Amino acid sequence: STPFVVAVDGPSGSGKSSTARGVATRLSLAYLDTGAMYRAVTWALLQRGTDLGDPAAIARDAVDLRLESGTDPQAPTIAVDGADVSEAVRGDDVNAHVSPVAAVPEVRSMLVDQQRAIIAEATGGIVVEGRDIGSTVAPDAPVKVFLVADAQARAARRAAERGGADEAATAASLAARDAIDSTRATSPLTRADGAVQIDGTHLTLDEVVDAVVQLVEEAR
Ligand code: C5P
């Protein structure tokens, strides 16, 4: 039988990571941050000097990267070719370039295959967060959440996480990524069939986690 999957999708800064990790911790499930995988590919291509304006170059240089995802919700990690890049992938250069890299179909098919393999091994169940989990990676997931929040709330949260970064610049960066992520041809960010939308704007993290845990309890 396939492992129990909780799919958590939504735009940048909606609180997906905190929510997904909170749910996984509460229910002793594994956790997969698929955004970290797209970030790690982007980081590696930046290191390699790949022309990120050229989708063919991106596809060519991405294929032989070896990613390893650590699935502990308390300490998730991402490594590429043996180097732990968990911190490095959060930098501004990766933020600025990840969406065009993630729009390349060959990158997506490679990572979706890896994500499905990780899910298949998570026999105790797994919370998977991203943009296309409920629509593409795990369309049969018994629980699908589409987490949203006001643009201003998302920017304020992300700026605070980044040690008081400029809120207007953060809002612009989130909006730029969402625009590309929502309009790309291959599995754009969208609310999947059967996904329950939760608006976290006026909820605490605990309240959002409670809501998702309740959906899990109803589903299993
Ligand atoms: O979730 P996070 O903000 O770390 O994701 C970084 C970027 O990776 C997103 O803006 C998007 O371009 C891409 N992504 C994606 N599909 C996923 C997860 C992330 O395209 N499942």
Supply 13's token pair: 């800064």
Q: For residue 121, how far is its CA from the centre of ligand 1 (angstroms)?
A: 22
Any ligand 1 atom below 6 A from CB of 35: yes
Asked if residue 163 belongs to a known ligand binding site, the reply is no
Q: Whose CA is nearest to atom 4 of ligand 1?
A: 35
The per-residue pLDDT string of the chain (220 residues; one tens digit each, 9 = 90 and over) reads 789 999 999 999 999 999 999 999 999 999 999 999 999 999 999 999 999 999 999 999 999 999 999 999 999 999 999 999 999 999 999 999 999 999 999 999 999 999 999 999 999 999 999 999 999 999 999 999 999 999 999 999 999 988 889 999 999 999 999 999 999 999 999 999 999 999 999 999 999 999 999 999 999 9
Supply 24's token pair: 């996984």
Bridge partners, 79 (sequence order): 68, 84
pTM of the predicted model as reported, rounded to 2 decimal places: 0.96
Asked if residue 16 belongs to a known ligand binding site, the reply is yes
Q: For residue 189, how far is its CA from the centre of ligand 1 (angstroms)?
A: 9
Bridge partners, 32 (sequence order): 128
The DSSP letter of residue 69 is E
